[in-house]
Structure 1
């Protein structure tokens, strides 16, 4: 029997035991994440994921495949429970699992040191360490990519919620603006409003500023830019909810609202 075959047989019969030992010694006091769960269904799934790793790792002793862990890594990296677990907790468990393999390998060497050369054994010891380094690196990259995808999706949702177009009638809509408006948000408001008004055939858009505490030169410029752009696609605009401090700032900045319909309250529109 070759060393590779002997190692495979030695490790494969201990895979489930590795999983049980790993979970039994797991620190379950993490303040958050999958390792602190008490849900039996999630615990069973966690053990299956760990067991699947061991089965694939043992294949390493029989064949060389640089994509050996690709599917497993992708599954774990996109798993919602692992995405909700701090990355340093996950890396900690990778290193604990690596320690399991190194300890098991040392037990193998102790019982077979006369059968195989030290050079061959050292080569496999290095291979185990190298494989874990590669898996950890690939997982970290995948996890980062998934986290960035989720962050971008959340940012897109926040942007959409920050500039909602609310339909009031067949050709009438409302754009309530709330909070601080920076350059990026102003650009999104412009693009999203033009798109929504065009798609909905809006002819009259009410822009409510009651939720905007500060109007500086940039915000004023972007507001006029929005109104001018909407006029080019046939949408008439009316402003509402201009706060006294905003009105004072607008006057100080020399903003001209003379050609724009301004209402003091939203509920006045229907009666005027």
Structure 2
């Protein structure tokens, strides 16, 4: 039995290039897809290289125990899932191709069994089918997990960039910056603003920051607390904070909630705040 497993393994390795070509020949034309039949030569070359390594790793299921097989396939699933996620390839496209290639390997296993019909019984074919199905299920599971993690990291990074763009600290003079806040602010955005603003203000070496709230229509307790924490954080790194343009309804809500902004200057509007800082300097 072990000899037949080894023989199948060697057979599949020796036909690795043929399996890759058969897989590539089954592609459809999908505009802009990595897996499209009209993909660029560079992309096709990448697919060939990745598939060649996949052939080498997936066929080890016939000669290795489950744990050894898993350790061998993990680096491939990590590398390729990262490549697909960064290339913005939908997961369902990848899973579809796993299905296509599984049928290709099964075709070559069937060919081997027919060529060796004198020594290969139906039990062997069933066992090999179970092994290759197990291998693909493991690969799909590992790949999907890695893809999800990487995609989450990509989304988080994009959200961070969007957050920074939605709360930009604008330098107006040496040592002075303005943070214009506009629109509804929920707790998540308030938390992101705090992290982003402290980083931006430090990088710009500010000593004064005007936080303009004229574009903020409302503020609840959690958001007001985050704003208070931001001001305290700015004070701790040596930056004086000025709040400008607070709407009457926002001011009333803050008073009603018992929220105070210690060590903070207040001005009616942005122009007044900047003029005061100008004269102080």
Question: TM-score range with shorter-chain normalisation?
Answer: 0.7 to 0.9
Question: 2 CA distance for matches of 1:264 and 1:162?
Answer: 20
Does the 8 A contact of 2:211 with 2:242 survive in 1? yes
Q: CA deviation at 1:148?
A: 1.4
Does the 8 A contact of 1:263 with 1:269 survive in 2? no
Taking structure 1 as the reference length, the TM-score comes to 0.81
Aligned to 2:113: 109
CA spacing shift, 1:197–1:16, aligned 2, 3 Å: closer
CA spacing shift, 1:32–1:13, aligned 2, 3 Å: same
Q: What are the ranges of 5 or more consecutive residues in structure 2 without an aligned counterpart?
A: none
Three-state SS of the structure 2 residue aligned to 1:23 is helix
Work out the number of aligned pairs and report it: 265
Q: How does 1:240-251 map to 2 (within 5 A)?
A: 240=244, 242=245, 247-250=247-250
Q: CA deviation at 1:118?
A: 2.8
CA spacing shift, 1:231–1:92, aligned 2, 3 Å: closer
Q: Which moved more, 1:152-161 or 1:45-54?
A: 152-161
Of the candidates 112, 128, 134, which is equivalent to residue 132 of structure 2? Answer: 128
Residue 262 (1) aligns with residue 267 (2):
yes
Aligned to 2:161: 157
Taking structure 2 as the reference length, the TM-score comes to 0.78
Question: 1 CA distance for matches of 2:143 and 2:167?
Answer: 36
Residue 40 (1) aligns with residue 41 (2):
yes
Does the 8 A contact of 1:207 with 1:238 survive in 2? yes
CA RMSD of aligned residues (A): 3.2
Question: 2 CA distance for matches of 1:2 and 1:135?
Answer: 25
CA spacing shift, 1:28–1:239, aligned 2, 3 Å: same
Question: 1 CA distance for matches of 2:129 and 2:40?
Answer: 36
CA spacing shift, 1:157–1:112, aligned 2, 3 Å: same
Q: What are the ranges of 5 or more consecutive residues in structure 1 without an aligned counterpart?
A: none
Question: 1 CA distance for matches of 2:233 and 2:60?
Answer: 62
Question: 2 CA distance for matches of 1:268 and 1:129?
Answer: 69
Residue 169 (1) aligns with residue 170 (2):
no
Does the 8 A contact of 1:204 with 1:236 survive in 2? yes
Question: 2 CA distance for matches of 1:60 and 1:109?
Answer: 17
Question: 2 CA distance for matches of 1:252 and 1:88?
Answer: 52
Aligned to 2:189: 185
Q: CA deviation at 1:45?
A: 0.8
Q: How does 1:176-255 map to 2 (within 5 A)?
A: 176-194=180-198, 197=201, 202-210=206-214, 212-218=215-221, 219-220=223-224, 222-224=226-228, 226-227=230-231, 230=234, 235-240=239-244, 242=245, 247-250=247-250, 253=253, 255=255
Question: 2 CA distance for matches of 1:230 and 1:44?
Answer: 52
Does the 8 A contact of 1:220 with 1:250 survive in 2? no
Of the candidates 96, 101, 106, which is equivalent to residue 97 of structure 1? Answer: 101
Q: CA deviation at 1:105?
A: 1.5
